[in-house]
Amino acid sequence: MSVVECGARSATFSIGGELTVNRLGLGAIHLTGPGSWGDPRDPDGAVRVLRRAVELGVNFIDTANAYGPGVSERLIRSALHPYPSDLVIATKVGQIRAGPDVWLASGRPEQLRAQTEDSLRNLGVERLDLLQLHRVDPAVPLAESLGELGRLQAEGKVGHIGVSEVSVAQLAVARGVVTVASVQNRFNLTDRSSQDVLDAADAAGIAFIPWFPLASSALTRRGGRLARVAKPHRATTAQVALAWLLAYSPVVVPIPGTSQLVHLEENMAAFDVELTAAELASLTARPISASPRLRPVLGKLKRRLQR
């Protein structure tokens, strides 16, 4: 699907046909310490970001057991429990941590079950709204990993199941094992390598949650084509990048992450940016590229941010 074919933007999306969320969520990876390891430098600031996000209308927060590990989930509980009735919290299992910026896929059923129980305790809930397989473990059959998530769902500990960083073929396998409510792959104006997965999710009505939606400084630097689009809207380049994602497909639910209130408020204002059909077509036709100076930095960041 192209952005031009998509039509008017919808303000909400129902994940799994049941969890209705506003289509700008909050990614909670940045609420931990450096390298997604340990406590944040400013725990009180992290709590303020979470509470302000809810005040601004965010009712979808994406986190993971591996963020910290456990730190992000516990901060969410500290800031927001008892939770608003419409708040949807998605978390992920299937990665283990050995240190800052070190991520190891682990899809063994016993590991997934242990992490799920840990997330239930961290978040202070009896059932997880949306539980996503964080990464496909090449050493474990995908059907075996998802089969365990399906058993947890049957036990009432999980509401809906999602997958992350999958191919079209892996998504098809997943859908043969469980009902897949969401797919979380990297997708933004500089990186559309998951276009085929997004197309498959769109066709099936599955939520597509693009992580790394702003591609770091590649989409927020001054100047360039994105800045020229932003200028007449009196918007920032980050807001335009998010507005493009919102218009790209009705199943897309971006989750920009931040630990700063000013960036949170900037990101949430992206829904007020209405790009013209010509602007959308222009941005869609030719991907934004990082400058030669930024490409090595961006490539290194992508390799480290395995999430």
Which residues have a catalytic role annotated? 67
Give the DSSP letter string of 18-43: TEEEES--EE-GGGSSGGGBSS-S-H
Element of type H or E holding 15: strand 12-15
CB atoms within 10 A of CB 202: 17
Report the C-alpha gap between 200 and 222 in whole angstroms: 34
Contacts of 307 (CB under 8 A, 6+ apart): 29, 36, 64, 103, 134, 164, 211, 212
CA within 13 Å, CB half, 163: 29
Go through 89-125 and write b for each residue having 16 or more CB atoms within 10 A of its CB, e for each that does not.
bbbbbbbbbeeeeebebbbbbebbbebbebbbebbeb
Q: What would the two tokens of residue 157 be?
A: 């500990």
Q: What would the two tokens of residue 207 be?
A: 């939520």
Beta strand residue intervals within 37-112, DSSP E: 60-62, 88-93, 95-99, 102-105
Q: What's CA 294's distance to the chain center, in Å?
A: 23
